[in-house]
Amino acid sequence: MASSLSGVAVGSTPPRAVGSSSAGTGFSTLMDYVGKGGINAGDDLVVLLYHLQYACKRIAALVASPFNSSIIGQSSVPAAAGTGGSGRDAPKPLDIVSNEIILSSLRNSGKVAVMASEEDDTPIWINDEGKFVVVTDPLDGSRNIDASIPTGTIFGVYNRLVELDHLPTEEKAQLNSLQSGTRLVAAGYVLYSSATIICTSIGSGTHAFTLDHSTGDFILTHPNIKIPPRGQIYSVNDARYFDWPEGLRKYIDTVRQGKGKYPKKYSARYICSLVADLHRTLLYGGVAMNPRDHLRLVYEANPLSFLVEQAGGKGSDGKNRILSIQPVKLHQRLPLFLGSLEDMEELESYGDVQQKVNPGYEI
């Protein structure tokens, strides 16, 4: 493990485990968890996760920095040539900087063949020898950033499909990035909020680690997260109520009156920042919904569904299990529902919960 990290070129020494292990799990920091105490992730994945968490620390510092005001004050920069047609929003400067930070960390890791990002039209081929494919939304929820509302990074990791190695670069980059979510080997999000939290899974439960700013370590604070089978919270942009289908309206009307299968009146919470809304849902239970075709399958829905399933919950587009949907294009959008098993089953029993009417909303 030490030797596998010796070549890291990130300008900082690897984090050191501090204190005793948390909650009797035998590991206390993120690097302990993936490296030795928690699970045998394999040296290559350890190195990759080391570089990813380092990138996210840099993004955490960036979004919290007072020196961003000159960047943050700008409105969205015009879409780069070529973004037209992908249906993506014009990126903002911090999205772009975050994207560059992640790309440079992935390059430095030496472990990544392809990065597919929300910020790039097409996947970027990095290294023929890289074992992994990384899909990412480098800074989700950035429309909130001017008001210091939480944002997040999302990532998913696949193995490189060696059987595609003979194909032209562009083609193999694309096909490697369009793997079904069932093939994820790791996924995670990083929440930039009052605390910076990395929540990750390599297929053996979902665990969250909180950044200790005094040491730079991510400390295990939420081992083996189990989403409650029932919550009492629904999370949705309900200004769209009149564009919703009948089934979704009925579901929300029912649970907010306490007339659902769980006879409690539900509360509403909506941050409009996917990572933050999901983080709360993982801890408190309930359902986080984006019923219109807005969120992206490859680098948002799949990694987050993987984490939710690993925590005992469910991720669906309202009809189908997210992880089983075969992506056909990189920036493919779909409705997304993530949450507690029983709440999700009740929601889906209402039939039409996907919002087909999508007039486009200004904010």
Ligand X SMILES: O=P(O)(O)OC[C@H]1O[C@](O)(COP(=O)(O)O)[C@@H](O)[C@@H]1O
Residues with active-site annotation: 89, 95, 118-119, 137, 139-140, 300
* CB nearer to ligand X: pick between 273 and 281: 273
| Nearer to ligand X among residue 4 and residue 237 (C-beta) | 237
DSSP 229-251: S--SEEE--GGGGGGS-HHHHHH
Q: Nearest CA to 175 among 190, 164, 188?
A: 164
Binding to ligand X (CB under 6 A): which residues in 123-182? 140-141, 143
Q: How many CB atoms lie within 10 A of CB 26?
A: 14
Considering beta carbons, is residue 28 or 98 the nearer one to ligand X?
A: 98
Residue closer to ligand X by CB (options 48, 198) is: 198
Q: How far is the CB of 241 from ligand X (least distance, A)?
A: 12
Is 148 or 349 the residue whose CB approaches ligand X more closely?
A: 148
Touching ligand X, residues 281-310 (CB under 6 A): 290, 292, 294
Q: One-letter amino acid identity for 158?
A: Y
Q: How far is the CB of 80 from ligand X (least distance, A)?
A: 15
CB of 146 to ligand X, least distance (A): 13
Which range of residues in 161-169, 220-228, 269-277, 313-321 is near ligand X by CB under 6 A?
269-277
Which among 33-41, 170-178, 249-257, 270-278 is the span making contact with ligand X, rule CB under 6 A?
270-278
Terminal Cα-to-Cα distance of the chain (whole angstroms): 47
Helix or strand or coil: residue 174? helix
CA distance 294 to 129: 34
* Residues 47-106 within binding reach of ligand X (CB under 6 A): 89
Q: Which residue is nearest to ligand X (CB)?
A: 237
Exposure letters 212-230 (e unless 16+ CB within 10 A, then b): beeebbbbbbbbebebbeb
Residues 6+ apart with CB under 8 A from 152: 139, 140, 141, 189, 190, 191, 192, 273, 274, 275, 276, 279
Query: Using CA atoms, how far apart are residues 51 and 69, in angstroms rounded to an integer?
Result: 27
For the segment 219-258, give every residue that binds ligand X (CB under 6 A).
Answer: 237
* 269 belongs to the binding site for ligand X (CB under 6 A): no
Interaction between residue 272 and ligand X (CB under 6 A): yes
State which of residues 31, 48, 52, 274 lies at the interface with ligand X (CB under 6 A): 274
Using rule CB under 6 A, residue 108 touches ligand X: no
Q: Which of 40, 58, 163 is closest to 108 using CA atoms? A: 58
- To ligand X, the closest distance from the beta carbon of 21 in angstroms equals 34
Alpha-carbon span 148 to 131, nearest angstrom: 37
Contact yes or no for 282/227 (Cβ under 8 A): yes
The least distance separating ligand X from the CB of residue 279, rounded to whole angstroms, comes to 12
Contact positions toward ligand X, by CB under 6 A? 89, 140-141, 143, 237, 272-274, 277, 290, 292, 294, 361
